Structure 1
Amino acid sequence: MPPSYRRPPRFAVGCALAALAVTLASPSQADPAPSFADLLAQLDQAPATLEADALSDAAQAQLRQAGVRPNPTVGLTSENGFGTRDFSGYGNAETTLSITQDLELWGRRSARIDVARAEAGTAGLRRNLAVVDAAGRLALAYATAEAAQRRFDLAEEFLALTLADARAALVLVQEGREPLLRGIQGESEAAAARASLDEAQAERDAAFARLTAIAMLPTPVTEIEASLLDRTPAMAIVPVLAAPTVRVAEAERTSAERRIAVERIRARPDVSASVGVRRFEAQNATALTIGLSLPLPLFDRNRGNIEAAQAQFRAADARLSGALQDAQADRAAARARLGASASRVSASEAGIASAEEAYRLSRIGFEAGRISQLELRLTRTTLINARNAAVDARLARVRAEIDLARQDGRAPFQGAE
């Protein structure tokens, strides 16, 4: 048999122990992330919030502009001058200085203001929805980073348990109570556990980097101290009509309805009044001029724009119906997922307790020679899987709370203890 198969596994297990010692003894300098509540307080500086604020300010500015009356038009005309015979030169000229003002009849100004006010209200509701969405993204990034950190800790624990079991197997091999194959299997398991630890570390670092970017933190996050996974969501009861998506759809429908009135008013003549002073050079006299002007609606009666506004209203009405249906379905689904995740968290806690006891007993039995290494490996894997399942259950609870919070128009865990 080749010498490589006859060597004791102590060397490989010792190398794995040394690698673990280096990992645990020289951790990187921790820079804990602020708590989720502190990050929420800084959410007004998020790009999505700043964009929504700017769009809301633009809508408010358009509302102010809608209330401004059109500027008058000043005109200066000269007639009957520099012609022939009696009209040669400027002696018989007539000069008129006039001011023309659009009267905005038929409620043009009020209709324009109503549309701008509705659009400003819609922009404000969109701003609130953008803040809620930004809070949801922040909560998900925070919880994902915390879950990745816990999975890394579990991978470290799994490696430590694997090495401890490998050492116990090595002792039994040296005592002649187990074949050399058991020691080699322990080596393989330790190497696989080390690879899993490296993978968990990469996932943790990636999650920390994403949280750092979303929260716009000045320094990279390397640790999370304030837990979000352990927080219990608040089961608030909010009417479906209060959902932000429904309110935005309602506001869009109102804006579309008011645009119909604007287009109908535009079909009516746009009346302008003018007043001026006319100078008669020949008589050395002046007189007032008064006039009204309006277009004749012979060709353009704005029918196309009216029909387009009516079609847009029907589309907005359909979007509102769809938003109501989606809000009802999404709220019911989110509440069901939240309830199921709460039960899953409770079940995972019970599963961890059973898995810990099973591993403890199997370890005692293995050291006494009454349980095989395969059974010990199975209980060890079951223990780590149970703890990972608990992390997954808590992360699922956070996701369900994010979905429900969006339907309620609030930040996740707002009002929760």
Structure 2
Amino acid sequence: MFCSLDRPGTGRGRMLLMLVLLAVPSWAMAQGPVLTLDKALQTAQANNPELAAARWGIDIAEGERRQAGVLPNPEVGWEVEDTRNGKETTTVSVSQMFELGGKRGARLDVAGRGSQLAELELERQRNALHADVKGAFQAALQAQEGLQLAEQSLRLSERALQVVQGRVKAGVASPVEDTRAQVQMSEVRLELGRAQQALTVTYQQLAATTGAPLAEFSRVDSAGSEDPALPSRTLLLERLEQTPDMRLARVQIDQQEAELSLARTQRIPDLTVSVGSQYSETDRERINVVGVSLPIPLFDRNQGNILAAARRADQARDQRNGAELRLRSEVVQALAQWNTASQEVRDFDRSILPSAQNAVDAATRGFERGKFAFLDVLDAQRTLVAARLQYLEAQAQRSEARVRLERIFGDLSLATR
């Protein structure tokens, strides 16, 4: 009988040692470095390729800003009239175009908005990466706990099988109950295999998020990954205008209005002034040449581009309103999801899981004493396993809600500061 293992004896001592080893989760015995949330975030900030690509946007915008302020290059011209020998008239000139109507300033304004957009896009990418790493880390933690629960379920099934086999040998239980226990053991082993696969997948996803091709850690440590209470709904909605998404939407409006101003400056033609020298072979005389040219805006007054730029500015305003509506809805939904999941986690911690565990213990003891059928033990075990799975799902829902909010606001631990 299982309950006789505490008797002295070498063989029973070895059996007790085996049970102690079974009580230790397999991931806890794995060798290799342990990954913490802080380390994962630091590694992702340094190695994530998408964040590195977003950083280049700052330099790209700076290059565009520099180019926007550059003056037009002068032009050198050479011209020959009457190519007959001794009759040529040669002209050499230098021309310079002068932009009128504030075109250069308008270009600089557009390029400046582009720099702001690049900086905000980088900030938004950082928030997204922060949220992705936290989400992947929490998923790995939950998969780790899921494997631990699957191993605990296996130990429960092994204990039940031992009890059943002992009662069958004693002739007080039907062999059918032994078959049921074997089936239960097979189902739990399948669940254990799925939990191990899920752990491998989540580890690899976490490694990819941090910028590593393979998971070089053996497990993740929950230290520093606590899930504290969220800021209030009122505070989050008040801070919505300061989020990168909303600031980005406002800068996009400013950029389109700057594009409209630039398009309007294009209606004003540019002045080209040329200065040169002309030499005539016939007269043996050199004279100075001065010229001015100015396009006549008769047909092309850039009216099509002005209309398009004006409609893009209107479009940016509507997109800003749409972004605010979407973000407000996302915040409200995520908060509701977090509150519901948090309440479920508290209920499981306080009553559901302890009650389910007590039911398994009571059913097992009653079966050992012949008071209950093995079906009662199976029902109690399945109820406990289902409760544990629901508990993990509630934890996952709570983590997902926090990740959704941190993708919008960034690190929520800074939201109340």
The TM-score range, normalised by the shorter chain, is: 0.7 to 0.9
Deviation at 1:272, TM superposition (A): 1.5
1:73 pairs with 2:75: yes
Partner SS, residue 298 of structure 1: coil
What is the aligned counterpart of 1:200 among 195, 204, 208? 195
Cα–Cα, structure 1 residues 185 and 302, in superposed 2: closer, same or farther, change >3 Å?
same
Q: How does 1:18-417 map to 2 (within 5 A)?
A: 29-42=30-43, 43-79=45-81, 82-83=83-84, 89=86, 94-217=89-212, 219-227=215-223, 230-235=226-231, 237-238=235-236, 239-279=239-279, 286-350=286-350, 351-408=352-409, 410-411=410-411
Deviations 1:96-122 (CA, angstroms, capped at 9, x unpaired): 332221211100000011111112211
Residue range with higher mean Cα deviation, 212-221 or 66-75: 212-221
DSSP-derived class of the 2:219 partner = coil
Structure 1 counterpart of 2:252, which letter?
E
Corresponding residue SS for 1:276? strand
The change in CA–CA distance for 1:381 and 1:32 in structure 2 (over 3 A counts) is: farther
* CA 233–34 in structure 1, closer or farther in 2 if over 3 Å, else same: farther
Aligned to 2:4: none
Q: How far did 1:244 drift?
A: 2.0
Q: TM-score when scaled to structure 1?
A: 0.85
1:193-242: CA deviation from partner (whole Å, max 9, x where unpaired): 11111111111112212222222336533311235764325427342212
Say which is worse superposed, 238-247 or 279-288, in terms of deviation: 279-288
What's the secondary structure of 1:291's corresponding residue? Answer: strand
CA contact (8 A) 1:345 1:394 kept: yes
The 1:378/1:64 distance shift into structure 2, 3 A limit, reads same
Secondary structure at 2:155's aligned position in 1? helix
What is the Cα deviation at residue 415 of structure 1?
A: 7.3
Shift of residue 290 of structure 1? 2.9
| In structure 1, C-alpha distance between the alignment counterparts of 2:185 and 2:151, rounded to whole Å | 11
Alpha-carbon distance between aligned partners in 2 of 1:27 and 1:267, rounded to the nearest angstrom: 72
Deviation at 1:41, TM superposition (A): 1.7
Q: Deviations over 1:158-185 (max 9, x none)?
A: 0100110111122222223222211221
Cα 1:413–1:341 change in 2 (3 A) is farther
User: Deviation of residue 326 (structure 1)?
Assistant: 0.6
User: In structure 2, the residue corresponding to 1:290 is in which secondary structure?
Assistant: strand
Summarize the Cα distance change of 1:126–1:383 in structure 2 as closer, same or farther, 3 Å threshold. Answer: same
Aligned to 1:3: none
Taking the aligned partners of 1:60 and 1:295, their CA distance within structure 2 comes to 32
- Is the CA contact 1:148–1:203 (under 8 Å) kept in the aligned structure 2? yes
Shift of the 384–229 alpha-carbon distance from structure 1 to 2, 3 Å rule, reads farther
Distance 2:338 2:243 in 1: 18
User: Is 343-352 or 169-178 further displaced after alignment?
Assistant: 169-178
* Whole-angstrom CA distance in 2 between matches of 1:138 and 1:233: 19
Quote the residue 2:12 is aligned against: none
Cα pair distance change 1:324/1:27, threshold 3 Å? closer
User: 1:253·1:316 contact (CA, 8 Å) conserved in 2?
Assistant: yes
Structure 1 position 29, deviation (Å): 4.0
Q: State the AA in 2 paired with 1:393.
A: A
- Count how many residue pairs are aligned between Structure 1 and Structure 2: 391
Name the CA distance, whole Å, in 2 between partners of 1:246 and 1:25: 46
Give the drift of 1:27. Answer: 8.5
User: Structure 1's 215 and 233: CA in aligned 2 closer, same or farther, altered over 3 A?
Assistant: farther
Distance 2:228 2:396 in 1: 12
Unaligned runs of 5+ in 2: 1-14
Distance 1:189 1:26 in 2: 24
Give the TM-score of the pair, scaled to structure 2. 0.85
> What is the root-mean-square deviation in Å for CA atoms of aligned residues?
2.8
Question: In the superposition, relative to structure 1, how do residues 219 and 192 fare at CA in structure 2: closer, same or farther (>3 Å)?
Answer: closer
Alignment gaps of 5+ in structure 1: 1-13
- Shift of residue 261, structure 1, vs aligned partner: 1.2
